[in-house]
Amino acid sequence: MKRTILALLDEAAQNFPDESFVARKTDEGWVETRFPEVRSRARALAASFVVQGIKEGDRIAILSEGSPEWVIGEMGILTAGCVSVPLSIKLMAEEIPFRLNHSESKVLLTSVNLMPKVLSVKDKFEHEVMIVCLDPKSEESEKMVSEHNLKTGTDFYYFQDLLDQGSEADFETAAEVGRRSEAVDENTIVTISYTSGTTGNPKGIMLTHANYFVNSEDAIEMFEVPPKEYSTLLILPCDHSFAHTVGIFSALRRGISLYFVDARGGSLAILRNIPVNIRETDPVFLLTVPSLSGNFMKKIRQGVEEKGGFASWLFHTGLKAGIRYHGDGFRRPSFFIRAVNLIPYRIGEALVFKKIRKIFGNRLSFFVGGGALLEIKQQEFFNAIGIPVFQGYGLTEAAPIISSNTPSVHKFGTSGRIAPSVECRILDEEGSDCPAGVRGEIVIRGENMMAGYFRNEKATAETIRDGWLYTGDLGYMDEDGFLNVVGREKALLISSDGEKYSPEEIEEAITATSPLIDQVMLYNDHRKYTTALVVLDEQAVAGLVGDEKITDPAKLLEKIRDSLYAFRNDPNYQGRFPSLWIPHTFSILPEPFTEENRMINSTMKMVRYKIVEAFEEELDFLYSNEGYNWQNQRNIERLKKFFAENS
């Protein structure tokens, strides 16, 4: 068997002829498309691309919410011997042209929801781009076609029209599709995935068929996935490398059924539809990122608190007992600890946790977490209520899996064991291997390693050296062989004497233990002390003011300060962080970090340099004589609105 995605698709069509591969919700309910149907439609689309004059190696971009058409579209791109350029639906309109221009994409597959964004910057495309709407013709789409003077059948098509055109193609065209798909080998580029661009222009990561093939095989092996038994609701966008490999490509190997969140109505509708769609599709597992699972955890806690009384007591008692009973998931706690906590844990399970799990349907067994650091409290929480989050680590340049916790081997607070096909080293600043427990840069080698950055030899040479991929991430291997990721090297705090530290672990600890703080960014650029920019959870703060009948902003500021440092009293974090890097003072910000103000990128990570630029004056203030004291007038003034609202 060739190690290509197309070979996996052929194998899936043969092995799972009656199984649903992809499904979407319509007015008539969920409509499923089987593996052989996806393959035949992909070949029809490839034939249409040939008719349209698309050449082998041409790039074709996809900017759309996840859907069966997204998957069929990419499979058609690969079948035509072309390269997929998956784009994030969270891109700002002005970010789209660079990616299309740099990749020289000839076609853009998009949805009716995202057409306005695309068409608003169409005049910035440096070459002709054929736009294809993945959704059926509608009054909304036809209005946009008319307003932007698009010519249907020339520079604009509906997806179904291309499929119809390809289905009716002549023998010569079909033969060309066959030749192109046969010519695809394991070194052929599958995708050019652009980074989120947090430091200058984004880089286009080139991943091959072998990269994806090997990495999806690792995923299947690590999670011991049986054939034809698993299904999932794909909540993460399809352009996300994690969803791409663990979702779409692994599904081909094991006949996993993929359901897509109902995207009709746009991004706000997607958020509303997630819980409904989970119950409707009854998945066996879900892919998640910390912001998503954190939101699930927050909603569960809020629901319990609203019930109050005995139900709340049962939940918290059972949760604490469950966390103690399981320990870190790898080393069993002592018999005494398990015996003491068994009964309250079983009571919590029988009376509370079983009901909570119904939120996620009847079959959900686990989450697979990726995308960013997942603090230990989330891992302990979900494990205790019976649907553990198995956190992994990776990056798009590695296709993306480097390590993961799994149902059979896991340790909370870590990113799991290294994937079977991957070699991993932890190197110090001199390039020497670090012993267990000592932090250094995570460096990997394996067939999952990218081919390089598209049209950027300099960046490729900086990242891949002597056959090793330098991730730019910091971590260490613990004594049990689990990888611990502590943050990005480029996000380092730097003290006045040049000492460096990654802030992400402390930031995660603060947001995990503080009910009043929604976002926080630590800062130290060659200064004598560390500071913090704080975004409040305004609903929680308002609730505190009302519940405790606080009337003085200065008193509320003390509560917020205590909340900021609550992690110091948590056993998971006690003594874990050097005092130099714990913020001495902080500033309460007037606005949150969002995608709209570009302080959060498309993968929900803080864009630190943007935040520093936006709040430069705030940071300067924190290093002034007045700002040195957190009880400053600026913080007090920003809290007065909570009393105006409650007066």
Cα–Cα distance between 453 and 447 in angstroms, integer?
16
Give pLDDT, residue 196.
67
**DSSP state letters, 279-323:** HHH--SEEEE-HHHHHHHHHHHHHHHHHH-HHHHHHHHHHHHHHH
pLDDT < 70: residue spans in the chain: 196-200, 371-372, 497, 602-603, 645-647
488 sits in which H/E element: strand 483-488
Exposure class string for 286-316: b at 16+ Cβ within 10 A, else e: bbbbbebbbebbeebbeebeeeeeebeebbe
Instruction: Please count the structural domains in the chain.
Output: 2
Measuring CA to CA, which residue among 113, 111, 115 is closest to residue 144?
A: 115
Domain presence at residue 436: no
**Cβ atoms of residues 464 and 443 within 8 Å:** no
Q: 563 burial class (0-12, 13-18, 19+ CB within 10 angstroms)?
A: buried
Give residue 201's identity as a one-letter amino acid code. N
Give residue 12's identity as a one-letter amino acid code. A
Q: 596 burial class (0-12, 13-18, 19+ CB within 10 angstroms)?
A: exposed
Q: Which of 162, 189, 209 delimits the end of a domain?
A: 209
Q: Which of 209, 232, 254 delimits the end of a domain?
A: 209
Task: Output the six-digit token pair for 65.
Answer: 């919410």
Give residue 332's identity as a one-letter amino acid code. R
| CB within 8 Å of 236: residues ≥ 6 apart | 66, 242, 243, 247, 287, 288, 289, 292, 371
Give pLDDT, residue 647.
46
| Phi and psi, residue 522, nearest 5° | -85, 150
Cα–Cα distance between 6 and 12 in angstroms, integer?
10
Q: Which domain holds residue 595?
A: 492-646
Cα–Cα distance between 168 and 47 in angstroms, integer?
9
CATH code for the domain in which residue 118 is found: 3.40.50.980
Cα–Cα distance between 288 and 291 in angstroms, integer?
8
Domain presence at residue 224: no
CATH code for the domain in which residue 625 is found: 3.30.300.30
Domain presence at residue 467: no
Give residue 129's identity as a one-letter amino acid code. V
**Cβ atoms of residues 421 and 214 within 8 Å:** yes
Q: Which of 209, 232, 261 delimits the end of a domain?
A: 209
Domain presence at residue 607: yes
Domain presence at residue 283: no
Give me the sign of the Cα torsion angle 212, 215, 218, 222: negative
Instruction: For residue 276, count other CB atoms closer than 10 A to its CB.
Output: 12
Measuring CA to CA, which residue among 369, 157, 143 is closest to residue 242?
A: 369
Helices 35-51 and 159-167: crossing angle in degrees, nearest 10, is 90
Residue in the structure block whose two tokens are 């997929």: 84
Give pLDDT, residue 198.
43
Task: Output the six-digit token pair for 378.
Answer: 């989330």
Give pLDDT, residue 578.
86
The DSSP symbol for 606 reads B
Mapped onto helix, strand or coil, the DSSP state of residue 518 is: strand
Give me the sign of the Cα torsion angle 52, 171, 160, 268: negative
Across all residues in the chain, what is the average pLDDT? 94
Domain presence at residue 611: yes
Domain presence at residue 424: no
Give pLDDT, residue 575.
82
Cα–Cα distance between 616 and 534 in angstroms, integer?
14
Domain presence at residue 474: no
